[in-house]
Chain A
Amino acid sequence: MKAELGIFMKFYFIGVLLLFLSGFVALMFNKKLKVPFISVASVISAILCTIPAFNALFKGENLVQTLNFGGVFNGINFVIDPLSAFFIVVISIMSCCAIIYANGYLKHYIEIGKNFCPHLIFLTSLVTSMLLVVTCQNALMFLICWEIMSLSSFFLVIFEHEKKEILKAGIKYLVFMHVSVIFIILAFAALSIEAGSFDFAAFTQVLQNNEQFANIIFLLAFIGFGTKAGFVPFHNWLPDAHPAAPSHVSAIMSGIMIKTGIYGILRILALIAIPSKIIAFGVLIISVISALYGVLYAITQHDLKRLLAYHSIENIGIIGIGIGVGMIGLTYGSGLVALCGFAGAILHVLNHSIFKQLLFLSAGSVYTKTHTRDVEILGGLIKSMPATAILFLIGSVAICGLPPFNGFISEFLVYAGMLKGLAINNFFVILALIFAIAGLALVGTMAILCFTKVFSIVFLGMPRSDKASNVTEDTGLSMIIPMSFLAILTLLIGLCPQFVFNMLKAPVEVLSSHAIEFSNAPTDILQQISIFALLFFGIVVGLCVLKCILCKGKIQFHETWGCGYDRPNNRMQYSASSYASPFLSMLKPLFKKIFDVEKPKKLFPKSAHFSLHIDDIEEAYIINPLIKFDEWFLSKFEKMQSGNLQSYMKYGLIFLVLIIIGCLIF
């Protein structure tokens, strides 16, 4: 490492190194000081990393640093271009919040004396590897960072590995990641062979000259990166891995790590420059399906974190719709459509990481206090945990894409791109876009259904069990502060979108390889929306305050109206399953329902219960049969493993002979 470092790149590398080492240095500290130490390190590293990132974002220039490690690892380029810079900002700021939150979340585990040192090392190495993945422009080094990222997140998922189902979820995650990485390796290997170099810059030439080749590479990369991101049908690991992990880890994984998959797709796209039409439509359609699938299964879930995990699939779908719209804009030469689509997608990456973290962290707070993730036995928590409840409410409104929060802005941009795209006079474009618009509208309303369900069942009404009614106090400040920070961010982006939008232009230019001129129209629209949102927010807050003042003393309290019945109890409240039931009964064929019923029998019934579990249709009909087939097929070879040394030597001999014969023939 003797090459000269530019001052900004120096900041970046010091930040990354600092964070990486802090995990190991923390080992030397007292067990109560370990997490605070890492939090401080992560804050410093976030500041160090975001300085060059903001520089690249606003000036639109690339910072390049070549490192030599010897051998094939010579001349490895680390580049902070606006696209990487945007992801660096997301990764460093968001991971900072999650790590600070871990102070409170891990307290319980510190008290029971669990060994969490490896956990901290993997936490820092996960964030470090993510930061490196988005800047590394060398295929080989990229794959190494990618693998470190996958492995460290695997170890984070199995934090409570003594529980069997958590280990199982972790292993499923590991398998999925390694199947997906094969596709990425294939894509990069093909590119490197064609280009004769591992450097991304060399790939551009190959990809832009041969459209067929570019399509195949994109397909491979989409499967590989799409598995990480959670596009349907490669999403299956997500709903298992997120609930298994501790909350701050699921926040990092769902909020940030799956976005590296999006980064990968965007990076390949930037290399291709103008994608072919079939890719553009393919991405749009798969994304609409992902979004619908994710939110549909989210409605069926009663496990708080599993539900949020399915919502990640939905939001990845929305990001994908934005990317698809942007690609359609590029291929049909409409700058405004491309700008709106890509800007919406990239902004949604940031927005989703903010509100999804907020939601996962507040779900974690609920878990630390109630020790359950089953929403059906919670309720009334807004009285005992008011701060968490309000924060969760803000997160839910934002994730539904409602104004004046940030989710609305990115969805608005995507919608605007689609509506503008309707002016492209092409049969397929119009049909695809209208179905995407209707699909996104359906996703939005289903998200409203889902989040009104989960918020009201968990936080409103009366407690449905002792676990919920025993909660006496809200969580500590170390957990509230990072969440409040995220909540304020959602509101700020929602109220002043035009400033954030200016940040998005440079990354979009990278995506379109400067091929298209962009107009200034969206900024003006966002300006008007911003004024509207500010006024709206101000008036609503003003009216609420006014109401508090005016209505003092005019309020009487009474029981809830029960149609004349005045002894309602907690179990008479509406439950989450019944809330979702009218909607789900309409879509019966899309689920595999597993009932577990014991009806009350005879005159004096003793025990009776009812439970309903809804299986992921893809897991039930595609993944499981595949695994069964695999087991059956491999069992045919069981005889080979006889445990007999002689026969193993025989195999070796046969193998050698085969190789010699092969060499002689070819």
Chain B
Amino acid sequence: MLTQILNLIILLFVPFLMMGIIKKTKAFWAGKKGASVFQPIFDFVRLIKKDFVISNTTSVVFKITPIISIATAIAAALFVPLAFGKAVINIPAGIIVFAYTLGLGKFFALISAMDTGSSFEGMGASREASFTTIVEPAFFTVIASIMALTGNYTFDSLTQILDNAGNYGVLIIIFAVVALFLMILIEGSRVPVDDPATHLELTMIHEVMILDNSGSDLALIMWANSIKMFLISSLIANILLPQTLETYTFAGLYLLIMFAISVIIGTIESGMARIRMSHVFEFVFIMSSLALVVLSLVVARMFGG
């Protein structure tokens, strides 16, 4: 019970903190002092209190989307192992519920962007939809390969790689983690795929989809987005940590990994420019190739000499 409550607290605060740490890291590399790491929470509270401005063109879809976004993000979190290596609803094939629940959120995010009738938002939606088509199969390949390796089709199999993979374990973990890390960059719309700090609508992906959202709608969408990033990072942390660890050591290391991921993202954003839009697909395909590497490693481990 205590672990569940702690999980809930982590789910509520860590996504904000991760955003804060990313911004702090960027400030650090830019030689600035930067805002406090708790700034995203303050922003959230400030936005929640504000009124809305809504486009005349929009319909009911636009109004319910923020709620569906946040609801799907939190619902998906129930199926993912968080700080204690066990998901709240730990069912077989939970990955499907996880991915498809997030898919529902994405579906509404896309149609809500199109609902405004703005060509910029359509552009963002179309890009986001296209990238997802490549990311999802790669994600499924990575997880399914791990499940094939461990013979366990719940999310528990993530922590069991080392027990099953022998010498291949480290390699499999490295490639799986890098693949999922790229997924964070793509799905969380970070540099080099997308620049969350850009001011030019033409080059945006995720930010441009929510141009017309304001007030608490915007707050909910931003929160949902940070939770999504947090969830994929959780998967990474669970892959990295072996199941043999003691419960609270596990949780401590878990938090450490989450913050490390944020620092890495912040460092990448400071050190790298975004890729030209026409080349983003090539970047996204790197994830697919990594997924195939994971698959071949698993197959080599299981059937190779």
Contacts and interface: CB of A to CB of B under 8 A. Distances in A.
A408 B75 CA distance: 15
Kindly state the interface size class of chain B when it binds its partner: 35 or more
Interface stretch (B37-45, B100-108, B237-245): B100-108
B91 A525 contact: yes
B255 interface: no
Contact of A547 (B67, B91, B106, B140): B67
B97 interface: yes
Given A397-B107, A403-B100, A529-B97, A556 B54 contact: yes
A444 B136 contact: yes
Given A420-B92, A574-B123, A558 B116 contact: no
B249 interface: no
B67 A543 contact: yes
Interface stretch (B125-133, B189-197, B226-234): B125-133
Interface residues of A, number: 82
A430 B144 CA distance: 9
Contacts of B271: none
A653 interface: no
Contacts of A446: 133
A389 B56 CA distance: 18
Interface in B73-107: 75, 78, 89, 91-93, 95-97, 99-101, 103-104, 106-107
Contacts of B126: 574, 578-583
Contacts of B100: 401-403, 408, 411-412, 444
A536 interface: yes
Interface stretch (B19-27, B146-154, B261-269): B146-154
B201 interface: yes
A437 interface: yes
B151 A449 contact: no
A525 B90 CA distance: 10
Interface in A305-334: none
A382 B61 contact: yes
A162 B212 CA distance: 48
B93 A419 contact: yes
B222 interface: no
B130 A560 contact: no
B63 interface: yes
A626 interface: no
A554 B52 CA distance: 6
Contacts of B55: 557-561
Interface string B168-204: 0000000000000000000000000000000001000
Contact of A434 (B54, B61, B139, B141): B141
Nearest to A397: B107
Contact of B117 (A403, A416, A568): A568
Contact of B148 (A397, A434, A528, A540): A434
Contacts of B71: 536, 539-540, 543
A462 interface: yes
A314 to B, nearest CB: 14
A521 B117 CA distance: 47
B261 to A, nearest CB: 24
A586 B52 contact: no
B89 to A, nearest CB: 6
B122 A579 contact: yes
Contacts of A586: 130, 281
A446 B130 CA distance: 8
Contacts of B52: 551, 554-556
B129 A532 contact: no
Given A402-B104, A416-B93, A532-B89, A452 B129 contact: yes
Interface in A399-439: 400-403, 408, 411-412, 415-416, 418-420, 422-423, 425, 427, 430-431, 433-434, 437-439
Nearest to A579: B126
A448 B106 contact: yes
A427 B299 contact: yes
B111 interface: yes
Contacts of B67: 540, 543-544, 547
> 4 closest A-B pairs (Cβ-Cβ)?
A574-B122, A456-B114, A461-B117, A422-B148
Interface of B: 51-61, 63-64, 67-68, 71, 75, 78, 89, 91-93, 95-97, 99-101, 103-104, 106-107, 110-111, 114-123, 125-127, 129-130, 132-133, 135-141, 144-145, 147-148, 151-153, 201, 211-212, 215-216, 281, 291, 295, 299, 302-303
Given A440-B140, A561-B55, 14 more contacts: A403-B100, A419-B95, A425-B302, A437-B140, A441-B137, A445-B133, A445-B137, A456-B115, A525-B92, A560-B117, A561-B211, A563-B201, A574-B122, A583-B130
